[in-house]
Amino acid sequence: MDHYEKAVMHLKQRMEDISLRPVDKINLLKDNIKQFLNMAAAQKDGVMLTRVKSLLYQHGILSHCVTLLTLGPQRLQSNWSGVVKLGSLTSTCCVGAVVGELSETFHMLFLPSVIDGLLSLASHLALRTECMPLFKKVMDSVSLLLQAHVQLTTQVLSSSHYELIQGTDDDAMALICVQMWTDSCTASSDFLTSLSDDAISLLLNEAVGQLAVTSDAAVGGASVRLVLHMAKQLPLQPFFSNFKGLDSLLDKDWRGRGFDQEVDQLISLIQSWESTPSVDRVKAACVIQAAWKSYLTRRRVKSLRGVVLMLQHRFRARRRQQQQRENAQRWQEELNFQVCLQRQQARRKFHQKQRELLQLLPADQVLPYLQECEVRAAVVIQSAWRGFLARRRVDSLRPGLRIEHAQQHAARKLQKAVRRFLEKRRTAKVLASELCWIGQKGLTDSRRSLLKRQVDEYISLHPSSGVSQQQCEQLHVDVQWRLQALLRQAVRQKMEEHKVASLLAHTHTQLDLLKDAPPLSAVSATDIKSFLCPSGTVATRARDAHNARLQANRLPWWRTLGETSVGLRPKEETDLEVVDSCW
């Protein structure tokens, strides 16, 4: 094991330290990788440089670099220069590394992850105008990787991070991107010929899209030169069928911008491929399609930022909820620990106090006290055991009890529902009877007139098929008359019942007085007054009736023959009946 391998292994051990922050890891990787590359490049041949790059990949150092490139801005703590330098070193190490048996994994998995990390870093820098030089360095690193590994071109053009960069509508960034593709194409003559048809189509869409979207002369000139360079090296006639009308766009928007010669060459090249008779119509359709597609692309790219923000918001909310749950669980565990600790301390204090009390007891009382404690403990254990047995026995009988309990509960619910139903019916009947009652409480004249008007309106809208309106009115009047007669009869009957009740009460009172009256020998003047009627008219008629009775008693017997009332006249009999009714 040579010096470089030992240093790389030591660096790997330091990177596996979990106490290091991302910023410290970036600085550590940046300094050590730069030192390794400088020491290896100082030698004459490039064998040692290739070996160092291979060791960095095989021991996972470059994987740590890719992980740090994909971190968010908050964890990077705005250390953009260090991250950009680390990305540049990572791309340098990926160029010229010999990985041997790991070649398939290196090209299929690792290199796409490096490209994705660099584009992710570039998308973060694109949102900050002050980081434009750093953005240029990151795109140079991407260009270096593309020149060495042409198969990554399709991934770059179809990456969501690259679409986010294109959606910023910044001319300086657009110029950097176009120059990156121009440098990649001009750095090697085999770059364009090694591309697949999909990659060529995506690259051509990128250049033509910039011509249709931007109005900056520098971006337009770079795009025209890129398309012209591609047209000189590749047969682009099949691809330009999707961009009909491009020559009209170039002639209308990009003449007089300082690169008319390149524009004329590209227009003449495009027109030489035109062979259809309806050129103007196809050109117009292509221009409309290009404008519409570019509009859709810009809108989709702009909406990506909102989607990313929404995802970040949801992720942060979920992470905050998870942290709150973890804190609550930690607090609960700490509370449980404190409770257990307090219980142990209380138990220890109790035993200590019990030991001290045992020391105070006389020697002859210690053994009886311990025996009493054992008896109490045995009673507690027996009680717990018997309770357990009883609960288990109840559980064995529980299915039958559960069924009986369910039946009782169902019966109670049915009874409750029936009672509620009967109560509602009784309430409805009472309300219906109260509403039909004439002179209902709270019914004013205005309310009665309003109800009558509503009834009349309803009757006019819903006429009866069997009875006419005059018959209904006559029937209503008849019912009202009968109801009023019934009410008057009820009032009279109530008054008669009251009068009869009063007479009966008075009669019972007089009978009680007669029963308790003293004999005639003991009657005084005061007692006589209590038996006299308070009414003067009644008393006079009673006196006259009494005198008539005395006169009839003095008459001879033959005068009373054939008379039912012992010779009394009808007038006198009537007076006697009145007196009797009074008494």
Q: How far, in Å, CA of 171 to CA of 173, rounded?
A: 5
Q: How many CA atoms lie within 13 A of 317 on its CB side?
A: 6
Q: What is the pLDDT along the chain (583 residues), one digit of tens a residue?
A: 467 777 778 877 787 777 778 788 888 888 888 887 888 777 766 678 888 788 887 878 888 888 888 877 777 667 788 888 888 888 888 887 777 777 788 888 888 888 888 888 888 888 777 778 888 888 888 888 888 888 888 888 888 888 888 777 777 888 888 888 888 888 777 777 777 778 888 888 887 887 778 778 888 888 888 888 887 777 766 666 666 777 777 777 777 777 778 877 777 777 776 554 445 677 888 899 999 998 888 888 777 777 778 888 889 999 999 999 999 999 999 999 999 999 999 999 988 988 888 888 788 888 888 888 899 999 999 999 999 998 888 777 666 677 787 888 899 999 999 999 999 988 888 765 555 545 455 568 888 888 888 888 888 887 666 667 788 888 888 989 999 999 999 999 999 998 888 888 878 887 877 777 777 777 777 766 666 655 555 667 777 888 888 888 888 777 766 554 444 444 444 444 444 444 4
Total Cβ atoms within 10 A of residue 202: 16
Distance CA 344, CA 149 (A): 69
537-547 burial code (b ≥16 CB/10 A, e <16): ebeebbeebee
Question: What 8-state DSSP symbol labels residue 78?
Answer: T
Measured between alpha carbons, how far is 271 from 245 in angstroms, rounded to an integer? 10
CA angle centred on 532, ends 531 and 537, rounded to 5°? 155
- Write out 475-534 in H/E/C secondary structure: HHHHHHHHHHHHHHHHHHHHHHHHHHHHHHHHHHHHHHHHHCCCCHHHCCHHHHHHCCCC
Q: Is the dihedral of CA 208, 214, 219, 225 positive or negative?
A: positive
Residue 136, C-beta contacts closer than 8 angstroms, at least 6 positions apart: 176
Q: How far is CA 550 from the centre of its chain?
A: 110
SS3 98: coil
CA 294 to chain centre: 39
- 0.75 exceeded by pTM: no
**Residue 282 and residue 273: Cα distance in Å, rounded?**
13
As a whole number of angstroms, the distance between CA 502 and CA 342 comes to 86
Q: What share of the chain is helix, strand, coil (3-state, %, to 5)?
A: 80, 0, 20
From 188, 189, 90, select the one nearest 142 (Cα to Cα).
90
Nearest to 283 by CA among 236, 251, 315, 235: 251
Six-digit token string for 237: 């006639």
Distance (Å, rounded) from C-alpha 38 to C-alpha 524? 155
